[in-house]
Amino acid sequence: MDPVIIVGAGPVGLSLSLALARLGVPSVVLDETTGQEDTRPARTAVLRQDTAAFVSRLGCADTLETAGTHWTAWRTMRRRRLLERIAFAPQTPDGAAAPAAVSPVHLPQHALTRALRAALADEKLAEVVTGSRLADLEQDEHGVSAQTRGPNGTWWRGSYLIGCDGPRSTVRKLLDIRFPGRTAVERHAVAALRCELPWPGEALLHRSPPRHGGGPGNEVSARPLADGLWRLDWLLPPGRELVTPDALVARIRDSLAGWTTESPADAARTDGGAAPARGRGHGRLVPPYDLLDTGVHTVHHRLARCWRQGRAFLAGDAAHLLGALGTQGLDEGLRDAENLAWKLGLAWHHGASEVLLDSYQAERRGAVSARLRAADQALPLLRDGRSARWRTVLPGAVRGRSTLLTDGHLGRGPLGAPPVYARTPLAPPTAEGPVVETPPGAAVTDVPVTASDGSAVRLRDRLGKGLLVVLVAPGTGVWDRRHWQSAGLMPRLTEAVDALPMDAEILVTEAYPGAAAHTVLLVRPDGHLVTTLSGVRPAEMAACANAVRGRAYGGEDGQEPGSGRARRTEGAGDSAGSRDGGDGGAGGREARGRGADPGGPGAGGTEADGTADSRSGDVGSGGTGRGEGGPSAVDPVRTSMFHSEGD
């Protein structure tokens, strides 16, 4: 079977290729660049706990530890008053911190991209082809053909094609998919610098800082990076006013001088009380700093009308743009990749039903549309200072503007909470099982588990391959594996799992939040809860597994799963075999029989947070499902959410 074609070699495209390789699916990544990532310290990524675990499983754990940083606390200030300080649990080797207290990981985006490229270079089932700009694509019932231009211009044949080629996606344009939304929702001046601030390791959101006039629209954030670096963001007033280098330096000096007037005692306050007021003439000295990078980051809000068209899909910035109020666009792109990878893995190895393939759009587009809707409704109320209606516009958000913004930055509440696929088409037909703290469709808690080989790991470490069957069995942690594997429910559970219609792994945990003993949790490959069962119920487990795989494998006439290779074809619809090579490799090619394409639509670029230009940017987050009292997570494709603009 032909490999999967991925257009775009940003973090989303690279992570999707790696995730597919882990599932034994070959892929070709078409990269229009030279493969060299520019060093831009001001272009950073903030990864929540689930997306950080995802890229760690792909081989980037060392980079997250060395190039990334975990904040020790989050501070929220208004004028000279400390409103809130949230301390994060210290990181431990086994990741045992409570989920609600875990800091995001903050790192330069170029470091993440380089780590993904390095991991991909070791994969036999993946190939990155640089200097390949997409010019055309054609589909038929058996696959997709993509034409590229450039030094490696040719026709490529694939089983599926995913457009991860950024905001100006060529894939989206060739599929004629509209991309409505709002332009320039927010603008931020951005700087990366090395400096010592009074609260080392702590991130800050400062609303209405007095040295910037104190108005309701003023806002600055400071987020630490590794090696003593900081990223500073200033919210700019509406409009396209040019930010000159002198003006940006003035903002830097103004902010640093204002923050360093705070005494060490004030910086250490944890009771949320007010810091003592300072006079205007106090502490005007600017601390030493080393300015490394600057830019202007413009946030757009857009959502593609559809994310799947036949065998072609959209992911990342090609499918959605967000980033206002602390939401993180790259987070959502990585969730796209994780959600789509295991579904394409089933489709490539076994064939797939339309239900399974359509579930990608239903789940991911629904989650992102909920996030965009929450941000779109909150923006005018949070930014212009009005207070009469904002609590009614965002149900459940009753703690104040600053707390709502903090939730967006820390991945909580309607602006930041991980997605809940409550209305997924992959939901099982069985009745609801025992109630646990995690609702069906939500991401599971990362509890310690014991695998069948006796190894003690975290639950998220086992995601990404097949269904996880987690048995809650108090006391097993002190038993020898030889005893508990043959005792109690385990023999029946092992028999039931072996009979499931898809690959599955048994894990045992001593406790899960809200779960009684002998509760069985079924977890999807992307970490979302399918259902809970009371004890071993083979028939219900089989029904759930069938639901997760789209109820039945679709299969394709005349096609059997095989060790497909990346290959160049003789024509757009040609299925010529690939040249001999190593088993399972993605690198075999055939000579091309066509001339280079003389032109074509512009390519869309790789995933980026747009620090230095007008593309969407910094990294972002998904919507909730039926929680928070908000609208359905599955947004009808024809629902008008934004003022539509031409692509």
Query: By the 8 A CB rule, do 458 and 95 touch?
Result: yes
490 part of a folded domain? yes
The reported pTM is 0.82
The pLDDT assigned to 379 comes to: 81
Q: What is the CATH number of the domain that holds 491?
A: 3.40.30
Q: What is the DSSP letter of 466?
A: S
**Residues β-bridged to residue 107:** 45
Integer Cα distance of 88 and 86 in angstroms: 6
Q: Summarize the confidence of residues 368-396 as an average pLDDT.
A: 70
Domain span holding position 461: 448-548
Integer Cα distance of 340 and 321 in angstroms: 18
133 part of a folded domain? no
Three-class secondary structure of residue 442 per DSSP: coil
74 part of a folded domain? no
Integer Cα distance of 159 and 455 in angstroms: 37
9 part of a folded domain? no
**591 or 534: which leads in pLDDT:** 534
Query: By the 8 A CB rule, do 175 and 169 touch?
Result: no
Calculate the average pLDDT of the chain: 80
Over residues 83-131, the pLDDT tens digits come to: 889 999 876 555 554 444 789 999 999 999 999 999 999 999 999 999 9
Domain count, the chain: 1
466 part of a folded domain? yes
pLDDT at 279 over 80: no
Binning pLDDT at 50, 70 and 90, where does residue 226 land? very high
600 part of a folded domain? no
470 part of a folded domain? yes
CA-atom Rg of the chain in angstroms: 25
315 part of a folded domain? no
Secondary structure of 137-158 as H, E, C letters: EEEECCEEEEEEECCCCCEEEE
Alpha helices in 312-440 (DSSP H): 329-350, 354-360, 366-383, 390-393, 401-410, 413-416
